[in-house]
Amino acid sequence: MAATPIFADRRKRFLDRMRDGVAVFRSAPVTLRNGDVDNPYRQDTDFHFLTGFEEPEAYAVFEKTGKVRKYTLFVRASDPEQEVWVGRRAGVDGATRDHGADEAFPQTEFFDRLPGLLRNRPRLYLEFGRDAAFEGRVTAAIEGLKAEARKGTSGPWEVIDPRTVLWEMRLVKSGADVAAIEAACRVTCDSFLAAMRAVRPGMNERELAAVLEFEFRRRGGDRVGFETIAAAGRSATTLHYIRNDQPIGDRDLVLMDAGAEVSYVTADVTRTFPASGRFAEPGLSVYRWVLQAQKAAIAAIRPGATYREVHEAGLKVLCRGLVALGVLKGTVKTIIASGSYRPYFMHRIGHWLGSDVHDVGPYFVDGQPITLRPGMVITVEPGLYFGDAAPKSVRGIGVRIEDDVLVTKDGHRVLTDVPKEPDQIEALMSPLGSWWGRVEPVTIGGTEEVRTRTSPASRRPRRSARA
Ligand code: MG
Ligand code: MG
């Protein structure tokens, strides 16, 4: 239920930081997929962060005057006929009873009531630049109030983007936020173990992605936090490869980058593993360099360290690796200065993680790299990608290893736990394809609920696609 303490606590902290005025938020729009089919609905992250309310066509309003505070929701009214087709709505009563609003109205009344909410307020908090039509109606209401100056009323003269407050709250996680990320990490990691036990040469990338997402769902994942990457062999040299439609060859390294979203928080994990269950050269050497780089970057994470320091700790090892692998010549210093590593490592070491996979928050402030603070969660994901222009000896190999790391008071804590040492991965994958036929019921959240029973024991390996 949405009226859990986590949302009430966030609203209190938001209102604590807000100056006197009114803040208005709008839910995410429903978008058309094709024909008369909508895309799956997911609430706007900022809207959900404060309200926990998952329905479309809703507005949230926060009013603050000194110590007086008020939280109002405008929601879809109950409609028994509609609810037969698309499910129950909270309705106006549910908005106050179950979702913590002090007052609620049908969403159809929002624009009629808006001038009253804005009248004589010193300032408005509004996320601007996101929905021109909505912003236009809000500013029209403000202009209407200004035209009533002779009656002694006025609209707010100052507009502030509430993301200046919200995104700081989202960047530095509370204890409850961290617990939510840990839940998403647990679902994701357990699903990775299953998928790595399912891979076999001859299966298609999409089949592997389906196994992973099947495991996400039955372990409590609401949806994926982003499109799953299941990339075999050369596919893995494309950073955001999501076609997932190629057969997995028996000599391929498979790169899987995915995250389950649980209660509007996502994990983000990458593992690279051999389709055959046994690492072989030259992939193994590439893998070891990426792993070493990842460990060096994680080791650099502590309060007071900068994002750039974490990046450079990993980058230096990758550059040493590129020399050792015979891809580049020079010293670490000259390679970094010239940028000659960039064709093989073209992204940053990681990103903030939370309700969005590339979560909000700055990486630089006033031109300086941001300093890590306890409560921040960052991914650490070095990689080496040898595409068509790479030397023949390593061409077609793509390796990335990614974990999610919490900055703690004393240093850091890695929140994700999937084997990444080569011998651990080989042990996990042995015997190859053991997942098939051994899909056990899952107990979620300590209850006796069993989500699914499957016994795909009849599945047999298909012929190797690249035999
Ligand atoms: Mg990532
Ligand atoms: Mg990732």
Q: What digits encode the pLDDT tens for the residues 194-246? A: 999 999 999 999 999 999 999 999 999 999 999 999 999 999 999 889 999 99
pLDDT classification of 3: cutoffs 50, 70, 90: low
pLDDT of residue 1: 47
Question: Three-class SS of residue 106?
Answer: strand
**Which among 347, 395, 413, 459 is annotated as catalytic?**
347
What phi and psi values does residue 412 have, to the nearest 5 degrees? -160, 165
How far apart are alpha carbons 294 and 395 in whole angstroms?
Answer: 22
pLDDT tens digits, 206-218: 999 999 999 999 9
- Going across the sheet that includes 223-224, the strands are 223-224, 260-262, 265-266
- Non-local CB neighbours of 423 within 8 Å, separated by 6+ positions: none
DSSP annotation string for 250-312: TT-EEEEEE-EEETTEE--EEEEEETTSS--TTHHHHHHHHHHHHHHHHHT-STT-BHHHHHH
CA of 128 relative to ligand 1 center, distance in Å: 27
- Provide the 8-state DSSP code for 19: P
pLDDT tens digits, 93-131: 999 999 999 999 999 999 999 999 999 999 999 999 989
Residues with CB under 5 A from ligand 1 (ion): 268, 379
Section 317-337 average pLDDT: 97
Residue with tokens 């999610």: 404
Task: Copy the structure tokens of residue 443.
Answer: 């107990």
CA of 61 relative to ligand 2 center, distance in Å: 35
Q: Is 400 a catalytic residue?
A: yes
How far apart are alpha carbons 53 and 415 in whole angstroms?
Answer: 27
CB 124 within 8 A of CB 21: yes
Share of the chain above pLDDT 70, in %: 94
Task: Copy the structure tokens of residue 266.
Answer: 């996502």
Structural domains of the chain ordered from first start? 5-169 (3.40.350.10), 172-463 (3.90.230.10)
Section 257-279 average pLDDT: 98
Least confident of 184-188, 295-299, 444-448: 444-448
Task: Copy the structure tokens of residue 260.
Answer: 């389950």
Task: Copy the structure tokens of residue 394.
Answer: 């390593």
Section 350-375 average pLDDT: 94
Section 57-69 average pLDDT: 97
pLDDT of residue 454: 40
How many C-beta atoms surround the C-beta of residue 374 within 10 A?
Answer: 16
Q: Considering every ligand atom shown, identify the ligand nearest to the alpha carbon of residue 192 and give its number.
A: 2
Fill in the amino acid letter for 322. L
CA of 268 relative to ligand 2 center, distance in Å: 5
- Provide the 8-state DSSP code for 357: S
pLDDT of residue 63: 98
CA of 420 relative to ligand 1 center, distance in Å: 16
**Which among 57, 252, 402, 404 is annotated as catalytic?**
402
Inform me whether the pLDDT recorded for 464 exceeds 50: no
Question: Three-class SS of residue 69?
Answer: strand
Inform me whether the pLDDT recorded for 388 exceeds 80: yes
Long-range (24+ apart) CB contacts under 8 A made by 427-433 are 428/193, 428/196, 428/197, 429/196, 429/197, 429/199, 429/273, 429/274, 429/277, 430/277, 431/277, 432/199, 432/200, 432/276, 432/277, 433/197, 433/198, 433/199, 433/200, 433/461
Packing angle of the helix pair 5-17, 163-171 (nearest 10 deg): 130
How far apart are alpha carbons 57 and 398 in whole angstroms?
Answer: 43
Section 17-39 average pLDDT: 97
Task: Copy the structure tokens of residue 19.
Answer: 């100056």
**Which among 11, 197, 400, 412 is annotated as catalytic?**
400
Cβ burial of 276 (10 Å; 0-12, 13-18, 19+) is buried
Task: Copy the structure tokens of residue 118.
Answer: 């804005």
Q: Residue 258 forms beta bridges with which residues?
A: 269
Residue with tokens 């498979």: 254
Q: Considering every ligand atom shown, identify the ligand nearest to the alpha carbon of residue 226 and give its number.
A: 2
Mean pLDDT rounded to a whole number for the chain: 93
Task: Copy the structure tokens of residue 144.
Answer: 């209407």
Q: Is 41 a catalytic residue?
A: no
pLDDT classification of 460: cutoffs 50, 70, 90: very low
pLDDT of residue 467: 32
pLDDT classification of 153: cutoffs 50, 70, 90: confident
pLDDT classification of 75: cutoffs 50, 70, 90: very high
CA of 240 relative to ligand 2 center, distance in Å: 9
pLDDT classification of 452: cutoffs 50, 70, 90: very low
How many C-beta atoms surround the C-beta of residue 409 within 10 A?
Answer: 9
Q: How many CA atoms lie within 13 A of 395 on its CB side?
A: 6
Inform me whether the pLDDT recorded for 449 exceeds 60: no
pLDDT of residue 445: 65
